[in-house]
Amino acid sequence: MQSSPLLLEEPIRMASILEPSKAVSLRLELSFFPAMTKIVGTLGPKSRSVDVISQCLLAGMSGIFPMQPLIAVARFDFSWGDPEYHQETLENLRAAIKSTKKLCAVMLDTVGPELQVVNKTELAISLQADTLVVLTPDQNKEASSNLLPLNFSGLSKAVKKGDTIFIGQYLFTGSETTSVWLEVSEVNGDDVTCVIKNSATLAGSLYTLHVSQIRIDLPTLANKDKEVISTWGVQNNVDFLSLSYTRHAEDVRHARAFLSKLGDLKQTQIFAKIENIEGLTHFDEILREADGIILSRGNLGIDLPPEKAFLFQKAAIYKCNMAGKPAVVTRVVDTMTDNLRPTRAEATDVANAVLDGSDAIVLGAETLRGLYPVETISTVGKICAEAEKVYNQDIYFKKAVKFVGEPMTHLESIASSAVRAAIKVKASVIICFTSSGRAARLIAKYRPTMPVISVVIPQLKTNQLRWTFTGAFEARQSLIVRGLFPMLADPRHPAESKSGTSESILKVALDHGKAFGIIKPHDRVVVCQKVGDSSVVKIIELDD
């Protein structure tokens, strides 16, 4: 595995910028996947047919690693649409997975304490600057340019004169003609009268309402969310729960306790969405409890002054990286909802998210209702791949080792040693045998320059009534981790071996890599596995 001659902290040659980008893997002279950074695609009206989903899974790919689609996780946003609608979309996803032979995880995104303006007529509403509009909890009233019904009755108790309120279908996409900001001028009973600060046209049936830096007294896991999780979530064994508006570590603990009562969903990973100042204030405690973090830059970008937004992103991603937990960034190419190309600022933003250390990028409106879902996925993937070519892994590795400190735990030592060895011998790939996925995630934490193939070994378990194999959850959940690519092994092969019987599954993994161009003759491969009570890192040099 050749190191890149060009790294971010080194002087950048202008000639290298002018050279055409090649469809190559990271530092490899072959093309098997476009990026280590994963993409979470939101499925909806413009991306729910079998054909379009298949194109999204294959977008921009040629001869790519078979288990890795370009969208690694499909996100189902329950702030709109009913379970039946989302079920149809999920069935189409399964059909696309079967036809493309790509593994894709499923994320259920909760509504949480999201405030919404309800427009039953679905007619566009024009709001004029410097006029008044009344926000009312009476949903029987019809939405108009001077009256907006809400799904929340406590707004008048939460706000005061001078407070700022934002409203839009997707809060501030960068176009001030589709979102509006209001200033509270008077509170009268349950109604809140506001001055409209900019002219805008609101389209659709639901618009999100966000009160800047004000706590809304609603549960993080709403009753509607619990109903959806216990029915649709259980039925479909969702891999990830995106916990909207996470404000405290207790929110995550409460959600985990709820999932633990729902059979297989006790394995579902919880990703805390940080969307307001309250979540930011309690970030460290939330990170300790959650399996991963989603930096929801739409709402949070409203709460934070513009000059502080980048600091939050860098600090939050750094903390996630050092904890070895996935960091996921939202709202990167909003203008591609209606345009074939991102703005220059958006393209730079995607690259900077990768260079900051993001594991995955979320595409929301861009794939949900955007005109170019496939092209958006392909474009973001290319930007991620280009940014990864200049990612200075050496500096990151030293920083991560220093942060962990000494003495290291057994697993941290093995993981960091495997990465160090792979880089020193220029290995083409790291292969990790695992049952829980933890060992592979720890290796990925050290951001090796080569892909990590996580060979998940199923475990046979029983609840006294039936026998089942674990492993499917663990394999799919690794799809959101940067640089980690799963394989589900034959359950007859143990993850831990005293007699070397796991050599046969290693051969399968190597053959798998050779067949798809990941591994070539004379390549070196680093293998990490347990043999008895010992953890072993070994280097294999392949023959012809």
Structure tokens at 357: 């250390």
Q: Where are the alpha helices (DSSP H) in 290-335?
A: 297-303, 306-323
Please, what are the averages of pLDDT over each run of 10 residues along the chain (544 residues)?
51 62 43 75 94 86 50 92 95 94 93 88 90 94 93 91 85 65 94 94 80 85 95 96 96 97 93 94 97 92 87 96 97 91 95 96 92 93 92 92 91 94 93 89 94 83 65 88 85 50 75 78 89 81 80
Q: Which of 71, 89, 72 is nearest to 80 (CA)?
A: 89
User: In 3D, which of 261, 223, 267 has the Cα closest to residue 106?
Assistant: 267
Furthest C-alpha separation in the chain: 80
The pLDDT value given to residue 66:
46
CA quadruple 16, 17, 18, 23: dihedral sign: positive
Tokens of 223: 């009753």
> Which tokens is 361 given?
């990028």
User: Is 221:244 a contact under the CB 8 Å cutoff?
Assistant: no
Give pLDDT tens digits for 116-140: 898 888 888 999 999 999 999 999 9
CB atoms near residue 46 (< 10 Å): 18
- Packing angle, helices 393-404 and 306-323, rounded to 10: 70
pLDDT digits (tens, 9 = 90+) for 344-398: 999 999 999 999 999 999 999 899 989 999 999 999 999 999 999 889 888 999 9
Cα dihedral 406, 407, 413, 417 sign: positive
User: Do the beta carbons of residue 108 and residue 229 sit within 8 Å?
Assistant: yes
**pLDDT tens for residues 495-519?**
444 444 467 778 878 887 777 677 8
How far is 311 from 54, CA to CA, in rounded Å?
A: 37
Number of other residues whose CB lies within 10 A of the CB of residue 112: 24
DSSP labels, 40-54 = EEE-STTS-SHHHHH
- Which of these, 349, 437, 382, lies nearest to 37 by C-alpha position? 382
Q: Residue with structure tokens 């003759």? A: 521
d(CA 448, CA 429): 9
